[in-house]
């Protein structure tokens, strides 16, 4: 099993020189993934991995590679992001005009960590099958004028925006 994180929200438009609203920047932190089966409980897909990925792009941040998991049916996925920060780059326009300087935004409130746990359609892992966990941060749903002004985003905003898929 493998796992990766992206921030390529469908329909999201990164900031352009033509003045379109949107943002660009980088998301950094340490990420880990676990999957849940009634038979085995939570199964970690390895140690936490450093993540440094471009926001609003198709760039992937690898979290786990070639992890063997017990055979069975999995129904939940848990994504943990710690020491997390988004650096929104100058020129990004979130509705109040272009930012004149880069702005750091703490991800996950004061402790800079967030745990996202979602129920998924049951997936049965069998011998000789390959599965991937995909995490999409969907930052277009939580990076806004208020987040940049506060230089912080709450756990709830991240949890509701992030999608977790086992494919």
H, E, C per residue of 128-145: CCCCEEEEECCHHHCCCH
Q: 3-state DSSP call for residue 155?
A: helix
Cα 127–Cα 80–Cα 63 angle in degrees, nearest 5: 50
Q: How much is the pLDDT for 55?
A: 94
Q: Which sequence spans correspond to the domains of the chain?
A: 2-166
Q: 3-state DSSP call for residue 159?
A: helix
pTM of this structure:
0.91
* Lowest-pLDDT range of 25-29, 30-34, 42-46, 64-68: 64-68
CA–CA separation, 106 and 152 (whole Å)? 4
Condensed to tens digits (0 to 9), the pLDDT of residues 6-41 reads: 998 655 444 444 445 789 999 999 999 999 999 999
Q: For 42-56, what is the mean pLDDT?
A: 95
Whether residue 132 is predicted with pLDDT greater than 90 in this model: the reply is yes
């Amino acid at each position: 099993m493998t796992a990766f994180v992206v921030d390529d929200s469908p329909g999201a438009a990164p900031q352009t020189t033509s003045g379109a609203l949107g943002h660009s920047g980088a998301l950094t932190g340490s990420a880990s993934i676990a999957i849940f089966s009634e038979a085995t409980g939570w199964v970690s897909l390895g140690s936490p991995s450093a993540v440094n990925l471009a926001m609003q792009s198709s760039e992937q941040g690898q979290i786990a590679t070639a992890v063997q998991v017990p055979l069975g049916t999995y129904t939940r996925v848990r994504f943990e992001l710690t020491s997390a920060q988004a650096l929104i780059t100058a020129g990004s326009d979130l509705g109040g005009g272009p930012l004149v300087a880069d702005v750091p935004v703490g991800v996950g409130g004061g402790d800079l960590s967030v745990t996202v746990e979602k129920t998924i359609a049951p997936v049965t892992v069998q011998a000789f099958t390959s599965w991937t966990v995909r995490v999409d941060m969907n930052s277009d749903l939580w990076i806004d004028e208020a987040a940049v002004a506060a230089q912080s985003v709450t756990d709830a905003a991240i949890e509701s925006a992030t999608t977790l898929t086992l494919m």
